[in-house]
Structure 1
Amino acid sequence: MNISKVAVANEENTKDCAARRLLADVSLRLSKEGGRQTPLLSGYRCPCLVSQTAPIQGFDARLEFEGAPLEPGQKRRIRFDFLTQEGAEAMRMSRRFFLWEGRIIGEAAVVYQEVRLLRLTGGGSSLEFDVVDIPDVRAALQKRAGAPQRQEEHALFTVYHFEGCTLTFQNEWDDPCFISDTAEGGRMLADLYGDLSSSR
């Protein structure tokens, strides 16, 4: 298999920004299926491919995770730090991609497609995200802010009442989002944005 393009940037000039990061559920192939003979360690770097068929395009990424090394045949949620924003965007568009080491050694499914923190007119904020796993976003909110004092479930949205602010979660749009019209809620969404954009 020939790789027509592998985008590798100078790491010294690569900024550690959220636009180049994503989370994905990784499944390593068994050694007998052509996978690695040894486990992956956090910090491992390899090209990631959006397709197994020509023309093949690859983008270099560093894999970051906590805990024990990832053994062939195992699955784990991993943060990918791409050396170019183009690489991260290609994987988000594809939703599934492949890890390459002279051959395909694993597959990955993107968890968070994109997170956007928007400032609304009137001082409000909106945290929008394309997600596969919405419960994980709610779990991140609870980890950040604790359990809400009160929660109102409606057909198309949920209202979370915290001390000092209220957040509305809307899930009927193509891009689910949290909305707040207060400064305190905006600060909470900014913190949540940081949590979702970085490794946990």
Structure 2
Amino acid sequence: MPQLLANLTMFQAVPDIANVDVVYWTLWVEMRFYLLILLLTWIGMTRARVMAGLWIWLGLAFAVQAGLVPGVADLVVQSEFAHYFIAGMALFLLYKFGLNPQIALLVPAGALTYPLYLLHAHIGFIVFARLGTAVDAHVLLCGLIVVMLGAAYVMHRFVERPLAPALKRLLSPRPAAPVLDVLVAGQPTR
């Protein structure tokens, strides 16, 4: 009965009481998000304030994950789920207002995602395996991010972009070869 009553409050995660339904794990996460939205509403939710808030939230999520701020800050920051909320809000702003100079800067960054995806894992594992004990992990991570973004740019600029037109032609559907049995005035030819 205590478990059921705690779940009725939607705050069962606070005292670490098990959920009555597996999907209820989201309730505490959602409740904190809606409290942030309530705070934004009280402050006055303008596009500029929301954008600034999203960047600050992203920075704080990184700081929590990196151990740069006390873990209790994660009650508000929700670093484990922040990226979902931030992405959803950013996509809504893009839908509502279209591209603006601040968001337009993300378009070239988006072009780097695939080369970054291809490069980062193995190179990152090797660098951390070789230098992980000799260099502070946060310094190494930041340096590796800069190097990987640079390598992704080089790959995009000098490999992807030059090859894209040829690959597009190669992979585009081609006109069908002429068929001997075509309809002429509604009748098949023989």
> Does the pair score TM above 0.5?
no
Higher-Rg structure is 2
Q: TM-score, normalised by structure 1?
A: 0.23
User: More helix by proportion, 1 or 2?
Assistant: 2
For CA contacts below 8 A with separation 6 or more, give which structure has more relative contact order.
1
User: More strand by proportion, 1 or 2?
Assistant: 1
Q: TM-score, normalised by structure 2?
A: 0.24
